[in-house]
A = this chain, B = another copy of it.
């Protein structure tokens, strides 16, 4: 396939590096063709550079790697993309990385905290299917099911952590209570995989390190 990568930042460079090892034809494009050319030269013959106006017409796949705020403008320079497959890789972060700037305004945990003044609300267990509790929390290869917990009171978080650990799970500190805006969609995606995609309830999301 012909794959056009728009942008040559960290992600554009990573994708181009990975795709250069495949049989696909790779085109890099963007505002600064000289910079694109430097990257292409490092990656060998399979990677070409084309100006933005010529980079889309022939492409089977277009990967948009600009930051979200610039992405529509960056894609507009490629011309009409009707019928084209465009892969959006962006995370629309707030400038301070504290959360998503787009589409996400609150969470069940935060609403419950508002309704219970003075209570120390902790989000936890929402990415765990009930079926997991009655079976071995070790999924194999020493990998325990991770239970993510988020909250704003450190002392309370330590007690919840202790309880999670006593149940045989691996407690994972997922940050402040506002990160329930991340954990609840993870729970939602878990439900989508389990029920909608019919993978069943014997699955769980975990964060793995390389060579775990």
- Contact pick for A89, options B82, B87, B125, B202, CB 8 Å: B125
Q: How far is the CB of A202 from chain B (nearest CB, A)?
A: 4
Q: How far is the CB of A2 from chain B (nearest CB, A)?
A: 11
Q: Given A81-B118, A88-B121, are A203 and B196 neighbors across the interface (CB < 8 Å)?
A: no
| Residues of B contacting A126 in the complex (Cβ-Cβ under 8 angstroms) | 88-91
Give the number of copies in the complex.
Answer: 2
Do B193 and A189 touch (CB < 8 A)? no
Q: Which of A32-40, A46-54, A64-72 contacts B (4 or more CB under 8 A)?
A: A64-72
Q: Which of A24, A88, A179 has its CB near the most chain B CB atoms (within 10 A)?
A: A88
| Residues of B contacting A212 in the complex (Cβ-Cβ under 8 angstroms) | 139-141
Do A209 and B205 touch (CB < 8 A)? no
| Residues of B contacting A186 in the complex (Cβ-Cβ under 8 angstroms) | 182, 185-186, 189, 205
Which A residues, 25 to 84, have Cβ-Cβ distances below 8 Å to chain B? 60-61, 63-64, 68, 71-72, 75, 80-84
Which A residues, 92 to 149, have Cβ-Cβ distances below 8 Å to chain B? 92-93, 97, 99-100, 102-112, 115-126, 128, 130-136, 139-141, 143, 149
- Contact pick for A184, options B103, B153, B191, B207, CB 8 Å: B103
Do B206 and A210 touch (CB < 8 A)? no
Size bracket, chain A contacts? 35 or more
Q: How far is the CB of A121 from chain B (nearest CB, A)?
A: 5
Q: Given A17-B133, A87-B124, A167-B19, are A116 and B81 neighbors across the interface (CB < 8 Å)?
A: yes
A182 to B136: give the CA distance in the assembly, Å.
27
- Contact pick for A159, options B60, B63, B207, CB 8 Å: B60
| Residues of B contacting A102 in the complex (Cβ-Cβ under 8 angstroms) | 106-108, 111, 184
A82 to B3: give the CA distance in the assembly, Å.
57
Do B125 and A11 touch (CB < 8 A)? yes
| Residues of B contacting A118 in the complex (Cβ-Cβ under 8 angstroms) | 80-83
List the B residue with the shortest CB-CB distance to A68.
B108
Do A188 and B108 touch (CB < 8 A)? no
- Contact pick for A122, options B88, B139, B196, B206, CB 8 Å: B88
